Amino acid sequence: MSILTYIVPFIFVLTVVVFFHELGHFLVGRWCGVKIDAFSIGFGPELWGRDDRRGTRWRIAAIPLGGYVKFHGDANGASVPDPARIAAMPVEERKVAFAAQPVWKRMAIVIAGPLANFVLAITIFTVLFATLGRNVLTPRIASVAPSSAAEQAGFRPGDLVLSIDGQPIDSFSRMQEIVASSTGKPLTVLVRRADKEETLTATPQLREIETALGKTKIGMLGLQASNDPADLREERFGLGRSVLLAVGETWMIVERTGAYLGGLVAGREGADQLSGPIGIAQVSGQMAKAIDKVGLTPLFNLIAILSISIGLLNLMPVPLLDGGHLMFYAIEAARGRALAERTQEYAFRLGLAMVTTLMVFSTYNDVVRLLRKLTGAGED
């Protein structure tokens, strides 16, 4: 039962995200007139399937770690073309093959998957903002940690943060978002102290904190939020405002992810923060177990965040991913012809190796974190 409390929520969360990603490919593919051979949730042996009137095989497979849409003329669900099969097709059949489409149609079909992930996240955030609103904690400082970056910058209890680098700050959580992704970067902070405004310069320090996925490192100043009830307010929003807030929330997650990846390349961030299927399963189970206490909101927040992550991952210019296909199509549009088949084949093999390595490495991180949690290793 303990295992099922993690596996079932994990399958649910991942299936929702994968379904909408593949639905984006599917709908734009149909709109572009491409025949679709299969729409699969999961990989491997088929557990259930049926054919629709247009010849598409809808299937649920045994390994729930992804999915694919297989277009007519492709060798597999990764949109790798099958030149021999396409060449042997009658002219009318070839017209509905994916590889025979103009490059702009292929690009539209490929980018539709990641865009669907972003649309799903924005929709979820919109519904949450419109129905639940949000609790906003005023960015007032209750205390400053000794020897912290905040103390060195001159923060004092009672300070009210007005802006950071010119960006207005209306909540303590917004301040945390900026600080968390600004490790080692000097921030210009405008605060109101008594009846005067003061400008401080603070540089967030990298600190390790405990999250649902285990320990992670983020930028911190060492500030404690006010616990005065007068500094907590509830906000309600109409549909239009909820959409704008949802777009902002989605963009904030994109920015933080981009900042982490940039820090990873620059050596400021550690690759040990990457998580894979086990980590997702763990946090999904924890969110599911908390439903009776806090409701479904955290679980749907997780779906939205994971959807954004999947969308961003697929946009990376790695062969085999959507971003890799887009890169090939952009080269084709610029050259006036596609890359040689052998070049694409070697690129897809390299992409497969890169994706496999990432999966193995992230799963290794998950296992290490899980073992540390079970054994208590590394705790003070």
CA angle 229, 216, 121 (to 5 degrees): 70
Between strands 160-164 and 167-168, the pairing is antiparallel
Q: How far is CA 296 from its chain centroid?
A: 19
* Beta pairing partners, 43: 63
Nearest partner of 100 among 86, 80, 85, judged by Cα: 86
As a whole number of angstroms, the distance between CA 122 and CA 127 comes to 9
Q: How far is CA 341 from its chain centroid?
A: 32
Among all residues, which ones are annotated catalytic? 22
Structure tokens at 101: 């489409």
One-letter amino acid for residue 219 of the chain: G
Structure tokens at 172: 């303590």
Between strands 232-235 and 196-202, the pairing is unpaired
As a whole number of angstroms, the distance between CA 153 and CA 193 comes to 14
What DSSP character marks residue 190? E
